[in-house]
């Protein structure tokens, strides 16, 4: 009989925590998972799932605008924010229920409450202590807002999903993908939207052509972009909020939303009672097997500082459980070729190296790219243009970067990610027949590299 209550106790029922719990239980381990908020974590509740539902909702304004070009003439159109919000909430509640059934069917014990580490093998939850041979930390991240006068008046993405009323005007602060996605959502829902970013250009780390294409399309869609400045203060008054920037501009708005980054949710976790280490970015330090400096404690997902994406957390969970309870050793995860989508309007999708990264890492590079107006807009006055780009290592002919801005970018790049993971060369792309007429066929008909 084990001296512990559980073989594995997981703190956090997000994507990674649930996957690890279920897999370990199915391998015969006694597993419990502790959660103090909602099942499914950030992605299901205040992240990718509800966000994409709102993106769908925001895109209807453009779809309705396109309709007359195809002979459809809608009557009086009205938008009801509360209907969209409440329908989204019902879908999230349905998914919460699915996660609960998955855990129950796998034989995982759900412990409701905020968990805190007492020592290397003990966790306190709602005043009761539980012991485990191993503990897995999977608490995810939380929006971070810097200190400034009026900070208490702003919202983050967490609150944006649950607004009682949609503001007429909003300032979104930040230059990462969450800021851009919400700027597109609010703009598409008819809100006068201002994006404020302290740097000279948003989407740092993305390919430069991608950044410039998104910049052009956001401006074309009416989003007001303000670079090289930051919010100095926010003042609340009877009619809303006054946001002042460091360079003297003022915005009278209904809401100010901060999307300035996320940090691991470590408050109250009790790390100080263990040997678990945290780096200068606030992430828990782990090795390739997700083990912390405390041998019995592991961590994965957003809190360990790798790519903060749901599929990454799922892959980490599967690798961890296979190493702990499976036969043989799972190979280390490859973080170099992670396909990524940003649900701006139009969306972005990318995998592999940017052109700049490729030029640093490869002796010689060939770049193939095209920009064109998607066929679906040909009968409308919408000027949006798609960008497609391939980056090729000239020495090996391997495609090392694939980037797209345009409708269904995520769906298209997912397929190309399989090819790149398999080591596809430009010659492989060239001998692949396209599906006509589609946008995706452009990726296999790019013949001439961009002149140096």
262 φ/ψ sector (left φ>0, alpha ψ -120 to 50, else beta): beta
Q: State how far the Cα of 255 lies from the Cα of 253, in Å rounded to an integer.
A: 6
Q: According to the model, what pLDDT value does residue 64 have?
A: 95
* H or E element, residue 45: helix 41-46
Q: What is the pLDDT of residue 269?
A: 97
Measured distance CA(34)–CA(20) in Å, rounded? 13
- The catalytic residue positions are 436
Torsion of CA 65, 162, 238, 256, to 10 degrees: -70
pLDDT at residue number 221: 97
Note if the bond before 82 is cis, omega within 30 degrees.
Answer: no
* pLDDT tens per residue, range 372-399: 999 999 999 999 999 999 999 999 999 9
- Give the model's pLDDT for residue 307: 86
Mean pLDDT of 136-142: 97
Q: Does residue 277 form part of some domain?
A: yes
Task: Let me know whether 404 and 313 are in one domain.
Answer: no
| pLDDT computed for residue 182 by the predictor | 98
- C-beta separation of 277 from 283 below 8 A: no
> Is the confidence at residue 289, as pLDDT, over 90?
yes
- Same domain (yes/no): 158, 64: no
Q: Which pLDDT score is estimated for 222?
A: 98
- Name, in order, each residue with C-beta under 8 angstroms of 86's C-beta and a sequence gap of 6 or more: none
Q: How far apart are CA 376 and CA 439, in angstroms?
A: 10
Specify whether the CB–CB gap between 353 and 407 falls below 8 A: no
Residue 206's contacts (CB-CB under 8 Å, 6 or more residues apart) are 348, 350, 354, 403
Give dist(CA 384, CA 408) in Å, integer: 14
Contact assessment for residue 258 and residue 155, using Cβ atoms and an 8 Å cutoff: yes
Taking residues 362-370, what's their average pLDDT? 98
Residue 176 belongs to domain with CATH number: 3.50.50.60
The overall average pLDDT reported for the chain is 96
Q: How far is CA 366 from CA 129, 370, 427, 439, in A?
A: 60, 14, 13, 22
Q: Are 140 and 12 in contact (CB under 8 A)?
A: yes
DSSP state of 247: T
Rounded to 5°, angle at Cα 13 from 25 and 138: 95
Which domain does 201 fall in, by range? 151-260
**350 and 436 inside one domain:** yes
Same domain (yes/no): 272, 409: no
Residue 440 lies in a domain: yes
Is residue 332 in some structural domain? no
Measure the CA–CA gap between 389 and 374, rounded to whole angstroms.
15
Q: Which helix or strand (DSSP H or E) is residue 359 part of?
A: helix 355-361
C-alpha 369/C-alpha 380 separation (Å) is 25
**How confident is the model at residue 327, as a pLDDT?**
80
Q: What is the CATH number of the domain that holds 399?
A: 3.30.390.30
pLDDT exceeds 60 at position 1: no
229 in the same domain as 156: yes
Spatial separation of the C-alpha atoms in residues 364 and 392, rounded to whole Å: 9
Q: Per the domain annotation, does 333 fall within a domain?
A: no
pLDDT for res 351: 97
Q: What is the pLDDT of residue 346?
A: 97
Which of these three, 260, 281, 316, is where a domain ends? Answer: 260
Is residue 69 a part of any domain in this protein?
A: yes
Question: Percent of the chain having pLDDT more than 70?
Answer: 100
- Residue 72 sits at φ, ψ, to 5 deg, of -95, 135
Q: Single out the residue in 240, 260, 280 at which a domain terminates.
A: 260
9 has pLDDT over 60: yes
Q: How far apart are CA 277 and CA 267, in angstroms?
A: 14
Same domain, 28 and 131: yes
Task: Please give the model's pTM, rounded to 2 decimal places.
Answer: 0.96
Phi, psi of 210 (to 5 degrees): -65, -45
Q: Is residue 268 domain-shared with residue 254, that is, in the same domain?
A: no
Instruction: Work out how many domains the chain is built from and give that number.
Output: 3
Residue 174: alpha-carbon gap to chain centroid: 15
Residue 353 forms part of a structural domain: yes
d(CA 141, CA 317): 16
Q: Report yes or no on 338 lying in a domain.
A: no
In a domain, 435, yes or no: yes
Q: Are residues 84 and 167 in the same domain?
A: no
**29 and 111 housed in the same domain:** yes
Q: What is the pLDDT of residues 217-271, one digit of tens each?
A: 999 999 999 999 999 999 999 999 999 999 999 999 999 999 999 999 999 999 9
DSSP state letter for 253 = E
Same domain, 135 and 12: yes
- pLDDT score of 365: 98
- Tell me: do 206 and 278 sit in the same domain: no
**Tell me: the pLDDT tens digits for 150-188?**
999 999 999 999 999 999 999 999 999 999 999 999 999
Domain boundary among 325, 355, 376: 325
Residue 417 makes CB contacts below 8 A (sequence gap 6+) with 337, 339, 351, 402
Sequential DSSP letters for 279-305 = -TTSPBP--TT-B-SSTTEEE-GGGGT
Assess whether 282 and 159 both reside in one domain.
no
Position 334 pLDDT exceeds 70 = yes
């Amino acid at each position: 009989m084990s001296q512990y209550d559980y073989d594995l106790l997981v703190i956090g029922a997000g994507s990674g925590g649930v996957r690890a719990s279920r897999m370990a239980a199915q391998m015969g381990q006694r597993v419990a998972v502790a959660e103090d908020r909602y099942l499914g974590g950030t992605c299901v509740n205040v992240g990718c799932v509800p966000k994409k539902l709102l993106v769908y909702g925001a895109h209807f304004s453009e779809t309705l605008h396109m309709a007359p070009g195809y002979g459809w003439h809608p009557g009086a159109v009205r938008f009801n924010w509360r209907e969209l919000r409440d329908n989204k909430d019902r879908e999230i509640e349905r998914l919460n229920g699915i996660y609960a059934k998955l855990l129950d069917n796998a034989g995982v014990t759900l412990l409701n409450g905020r968990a805190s580490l007492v020592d290397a093998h003990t966790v306190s939850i709602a005043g009761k202590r539980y012991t485990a041979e191993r503990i897995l930390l999977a608490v995810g991240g939380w929006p971070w807002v810097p200190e400034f006068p009026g900070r208490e008046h702003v919202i983050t993405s967490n609150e944006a999903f649950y607004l009682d009323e949609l503001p007429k005007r909003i300032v979104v602060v930040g230059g990462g993908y969450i800021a851009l996605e919400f700027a597109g959502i609010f703009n598409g829902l008819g809100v006068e939207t201002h994006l404020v970013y302290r740097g000279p250009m948003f989407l740092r780390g993305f390919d430069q052509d991608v950044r410039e294409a998104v910049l052009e399309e956001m401006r074309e869609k009416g989003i007001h972009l303000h670079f090289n400045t930051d919010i100095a203060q926010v003042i609340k008054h009877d009619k809303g909020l006054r946001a002042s920037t460091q360079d003297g501009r003022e915005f009278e708005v209904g809401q100010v939303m901060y999307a300035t980054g996320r940090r691991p949710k470590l408050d109250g976790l009790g790390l100080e009672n263990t040997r678990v280490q945290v780096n200068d970015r606030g992430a828990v330090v782990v090795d390739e097997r997700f083990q912390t400096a405390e041998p019995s404690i592991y961590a994965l997902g957003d809190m360990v500082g790798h790519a903060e994406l749901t599929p990454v957390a799922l892959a980490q969970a599967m690798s961890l459980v296979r190493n702990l309870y499976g036969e043989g050793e799972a190979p280390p995860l490859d973080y170099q070729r992670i396909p990524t989508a940003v649900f701006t309007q139009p969306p972005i999708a990318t995998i592999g190296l940017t052109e700049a990264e490729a030029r640093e890492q490869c002796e010689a590079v060939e770049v193939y790219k095209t920009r064109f107006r998607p066929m679906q807009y040909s009968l409308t006055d919408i000027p949006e243009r798609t960008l497609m780009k391939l980056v090729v290592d000239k020495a090996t002919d391997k495609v090392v970067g694939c980037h797209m801005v345009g409708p269904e970018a995520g769906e298209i790049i997912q397929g190309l990610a399989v090819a790149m993971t398999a080591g596809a060369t430009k010659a492989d792309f060239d001998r692949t027949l396209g599906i006509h007429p589609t946008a995706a066929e452009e990726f296999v008909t790019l013949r001439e590299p961009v002149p140096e």
